[in-house]
Amino acid sequence: MVTELVPLRWWHLDEVARLEREVFTVDPWTPEMFWSELAQGPARHYIVALRRGRIVGYAGLALVEDEAYVQTVGVAPAARGQGLGGRLMLALLREARRAGARSCGLEVRSDNLAARALYSRLGFVDVGLRRGYYQPSGGDAYVMRVRPIDTPGYGARLAEFEAELNRRHGDPVGETAHAPGTAAEQAVEGEGAR
């Protein structure tokens, strides 16, 4: 089934906020939190995954100078295990490289084994623990980070990760997502990162 990754726009927000409550049964973001993220303009990069016009996943990145942060990533329960979380992360990391970020960080609930496994495959490692980070539940978060991401070696790692996704799950993502990612990859490497 074709999945298109497109930039999140304000008209997606009602559907994203509904999906958020299915995806994060504990501590979901409110619609206002998504609106406030979108209001940050170029300091944020949010995407949604569409299948037959319905949103089945979303992810967002914050860019602060040469650091990127994964703000959120979620996939509808019925669409999990098909590589979509991996494709959303891949798109965020390629955008981080395109924007000139040298590292990418995130927080993840300490008991979230599926997400932690996915991040590890992309090179993220634990760099700290934040107790009581998630509110209102009070859940702990691991802080994970990958760096450097602005190198040809990391670009190759992402390409390998994508090839592995394609081998295991087919290549279901539409051109909207592929073309800019690939061009950005070439641009970063062409400019001779270390």
Ligand X SMILES: CC(C)(COP(=O)(O)OP(=O)(O)OC[C@H]1O[C@@H](n2cnc3c(N)ncnc32)[C@H](O)[C@@H]1OP(=O)(O)O)[C@@H](O)C(=O)NCCC(=O)NCCS
3-state secondary structure 129-168: EECCCCCCCCCCEEEEEECCCCCHHHHHHHHHHHHHHHHH
The CA distance from 180 to 34, in Å, is: 24
Q: Which stretch binds ligand X (CB under 6 A): 9-17, 43-51, 70-78, 173-181?
A: 70-78
Q: Which of 130, 131, 161, 156 has the alpha carbon at shortest distance from 144?
A: 130
The CA distance from 93 to 70, in Å, is: 9
Give the one residue of 117, 131, 136, 192 binding ligand X; rule: CB under 6 A: 117
Asked if 115 is part of the footprint of ligand X (rule: CB under 6 A), the reply reads yes
Asked if 144 is part of the footprint of ligand X (rule: CB under 6 A), the reply reads no
Asked if 23 is part of the footprint of ligand X (rule: CB under 6 A), the reply reads yes
Asked if 26 is part of the footprint of ligand X (rule: CB under 6 A), the reply reads no
Does residue 15 contact residue 57 with C-beta atoms inside 8 Å?
Answer: no
Q: Which stretch binds ligand X (CB under 6 A): 78-86, 129-137, 153-161, 177-185?
A: 78-86
3-state secondary structure 68-103: EEEEEEEECHHHCCCCHHHHHHHHHHHHHHHCCCCE
**Residue among 150 and 162 whose Cβ is closer to ligand X:** 162
List all residues 6 or more positions away from 39 whose beta carbon is below 8 Å from its beta carbon. none
**Residue among 28 and 152 whose Cβ is closer to ligand X:** 28
Give the one residue of 73, 93, 101, 146 binding ligand X; rule: CB under 6 A: 73
Q: Which stretch binds ligand X (CB under 6 A): 27-35, 115-123, 125-133, 171-179?
A: 115-123
Asked if 128 is part of the footprint of ligand X (rule: CB under 6 A), the reply reads no
Least Cβ distance, residue 40 to ligand X (angstroms): 19
Applying CB under 6 A, which residues contact ligand X?
A: 23-24, 73-75, 80-86, 108, 112-115, 117-118
